[in-house]
Amino acid sequence: MITDPTIIRIGEAVQLSHQGEREAARLLFAEIWNEIGGEQGDPLHRCTLAHAMADVQDDVNQELVWDQRAVAAADLLTDARVAEAGVTLPVAGLYPSLHLNLSECYRKLGDLGRAREHLQQAQDTIGALGDDEYGQMIRDGQEQVTERLR
């Protein structure tokens, strides 16, 4: 169970976005981003927030910036820090989704070479995910992006 209060607040902003309140979600994400110290904040908070903030961007270039921030922050994470926050996924389990999002951004921008590189990285790291609902969602996403890149 998630115990980190900042991760819980980020989850509340994600819920707003899932309810169609993209602007309200963006505003709450921006508020939390400032509170955590932006680029200087805890890598777990930065990764989680940036990964979700990317999903509520209307401009694909801004989406890419946030996805890049998420991967950069993930590179600084440890399994101990993730577990301390109550996240059940190891750090390696974050990468399939992070690279899948980068692949889709690059595809939308027409940079198919980079899109394929990140899709390959997502596929190379998919083994870190379990055979559960989340793992299946990411696998389905990989299949969809693979189709779009054909």
| Per-residue model confidence (pLDDT) at position 98 | 97
| Per-residue model confidence (pLDDT) at position 101 | 97
| Per-residue model confidence (pLDDT) at position 11 | 96
| Per-residue model confidence (pLDDT) at position 24 | 97
Q: Give the integer Cα–Cα distance in Å for 104 and 100.
A: 6
| Per-residue model confidence (pLDDT) at position 7 | 94
Nearby residues of 59 by Cβ (< 8 Å), 6 or more positions away: none
Q: Give the integer Cα–Cα distance in Å for 23 and 115.
A: 27
Residue ranges of the chain whose pLDDT lies below 50: none
The packing angle between helices 22-35 and 5-18, to 10°, is 160
Q: Do residues 118 and 100 lie in contact, with contact meaning Cβ atoms separated by under 8 Å? A: yes
Distance (Å) of CA 116 to CA 34, 74, 103, 110: 33, 20, 7, 11
Question: Domain boundaries in the chain?
Answer: 1-88, 92-150
| Per-residue model confidence (pLDDT) at position 87 | 87
| Per-residue model confidence (pLDDT) at position 2 | 85
User: In the numeric block, which tokens belong to residue 85?
Assistant: 């926050």
| Per-residue model confidence (pLDDT) at position 88 | 86
pTM (2 d.p.): 0.94
| Per-residue model confidence (pLDDT) at position 1 | 84
